[in-house]
Structure 1
Amino acid sequence: MQVKEERKHRLLESATSGYRQAIRWGYHDAALQFIAPEKRPEEPSKLLENIRVTGYEVVRAPVILEDNKAEQLVRIEYVLTDRQQLKTLADRQHWRYDEDTSNWWLASGMPAFQTQ
């Protein structure tokens, strides 16, 4: 494996791990920093104020599909705090590598949390 490709893999592992930790422990502002700028919600606090993530399991580890794209599948368990209702979702994450900044961005955006 080329040094450049190996570096991309390490950066992807770092990004997916950082995002997982931020989402899992409720650091919403930190989690948003991994989202591609064009996919960030305008009012994230309203979107996440009733959500507490209780589990985050990597179902399929990140795989680089093309030069600058990767995919990962995770299962997220969360509670709607106002009702103490447990929900689960499968989040197919699409990551995009930005050559200019050497960052992986979560191009698929925030998980589709159901708030109802």
Structure 2
Amino acid sequence: MRRVLIPLATLSMLLLGGCATDQRKDALTDTLNAYAGVVRWSDYNGAATFVDPKVREAHPVSPLEMSRYQQYKVSGYDEGKGPTHHGEFEVSQDVQINLVNVNTQSERVITDHQTWHYDVEGKHWWLVSGLPDISRQ
């Protein structure tokens, strides 16, 4: 009986570990899709809710910075090859964002270098790189 229990226990542990990985992967997909959605709608206040609360506290977006974001509408959001995994709890991706200045109607393209971290306790992916830097030319 003991010979059966040890392999069965080992198999159970591996399956449970796989479930956690699948949940993290599903949560990542859901989070990246939701973030892309709010950015595509130029909802910068909504996008800020995806930023890690610790990062928001350390580097709050000032009203002036938020007003700069409001000057731009997103006309394109391309994830390219998608996220690159750096271990179990961190991914990065480079996203090409097309921005149209609402005052001049000129369009420009920026690359947003995103870094996402998984909070194990909260079971949530957080953007730790902050909102896209729209000040770059």
Q: TM-score, normalised by structure 1?
A: 0.89
Question: Partner residue of 1:67?
Answer: 88
Partner of 1:31: 47
Equivalent in 101, 106, 113 of residue 80 of structure 1: 101
1:6 aligned onto 2:22: yes
Map 1:92-111; keep pairs closer than 5 Å.
92-111=113-132
Preserved CA contact (<8 Å) 2:98 2:110: yes
Change (3 A) 1:115 1:79: farther
Higher relative contact order (CA 8 A, sep 6+): 1
Tell me the percent identity: 25
Which has the larger displacement, 61-70 or 97-106? Answer: 61-70
Q: CA deviation at 1:68?
A: 1.2
* Kept after mapping to 1: 8 A contact 2:110/2:136: no
Q: What's the counterpart of residue 16 of structure 1?
A: 32
Higher helix fraction: Structure 1 or Structure 2? 2
Which segment is superposed worse, 103-112 or 45-54?
45-54
Instruction: Give the match's secondary structure for 1:90.
Output: strand
2:112 corresponds to: 91
Root-mean-square deviation (CA, aligned residues, Å) is 1.8
Post-superposition Cα deviations, 1:61-92, rounded to whole Å, max 9, x if no partner, equal 12321121111121100011111111101112
- Runs of 4+ that moved beyond 3 A: none
Tell whether 2:100 aligns with 1:42. no
Q: TM-score, normalised by structure 2?
A: 0.77
Q: 3-state DSSP class of the match of 1:61? A: coil
Task: Decide which structure has the larger Cα Rg and report it.
Answer: 2
Q: Which runs of 5+ in 2 are unaligned?
A: 1-16
Q: Where do 5+ consecutive residues of structure 1 fail to align?
A: none
Question: Partner of 1:113 in structure 2?
Answer: 134
Q: Paired residues, what number?
A: 116
Q: Contact 2:119–2:126 (CA<8 Å) still a contact in 1?
A: yes
